[in-house]
Structure 1
Amino acid sequence: MIETKEELEAIKKTCQAMVTKSAGLSAGTAIIPVPGLDIGSDVAILMRIIPKINSQFGLTPEQIDGLDTESKLFVMTAISNTGSKMAGKYITQNLIVSLLSKMGVRVAAKGASKFVPLIGSAVAGGISFTAMKYMGNSHIDDCYRIALAALEHRQLERAVEDDAVIEADAYTPTNGPTRPDS
């Protein structure tokens, strides 16, 4: 469980580096002038990287199921509020293909550009890198917002609990509340 904002920032940076590396792999595959190869590669890359990002932020279905009921409800509400399609979910090929199809213009442009010698492959690689980086970093941003909200919620709960303990310590059952002048 993430305990500090600094830890959360470090996770975000690690995940961004992972996305950049994956976007480079996607671009490298897109340069190869074989129609369809790049889409299959993008799906495989996303099937691997999205669960890793979820895991880093504590947002896999298993990690969420391990939370107490109140925390689980809070996290699921935060996921819903961000509109995330991939946080807290089992990542399937159909989900990835669906999300890629929503980026259809970029994907179509990437596929069509392969038929233009040399420059087309470079354009396809650039589009692939940008699309993969955009999808990955958007997911990281969603996960970050969800994890930050959960962290702040836990910190607020702890503060309220600490205040309750302090108030309970200040009360004696026989005399009522203690006073400094007593």
Structure 2
Amino acid sequence: MRARVLTIAVFTASLACSGVAAVAAAPAPDSPDARFVQMAHQSNAAEIAAGQDAQKNATTTCVKQAGATLVKDHTKLDAELAALAKKGDVSLPGTPTREQQTVLAEVRSKAGSPEYDKAGLMAQEAGHTKTLTLIDQQINQGKDADTTAAAKKARPVVAMHLEMVRGGTCHTM
């Protein structure tokens, strides 16, 4: 009888622990971790839009290829964020920030000219620098393990993109 009570107690404790782990496996909707997911999602949306635009309006093959890389990589990163958001019931903004939209509009106004390529690369450098800061903050201060793992996974990709556009010069990898 005593062994059966002990077995039931161990089983109940393991269920309780597994329930806690499941709750902790996604950012809480109003947490700093959730805010990271939302902001990173907006950055991804901005980079995808800029990459698509570069594929259409850039004047050099290098910038067009960089645009394709941005679309491919940020689409993949964003799919992972969307899964985290769904798991944690975190709502994602439907568009990039107003600032990101303004920057994209400014770059688009130069479409088809060499100024477009330079402006787009400079905008990408600024955007990826901000995103790396956001990622590093999550890595250093994040509470949710899955969200922090996503930030760690994204960091080398975003750092590679930054090197690809550093100094307003295109360097495809």
Give me the TM-score of the superposition, normalised by structure 2: 0.34
**Structure with more relative contact order (C-alpha pairs < 8 Å, separation 6 or more):** 1
Q: Highest CA radius of gyration, 1 or 2? A: 1
In proportion to residue count, which structure has more helix?
Answer: 2
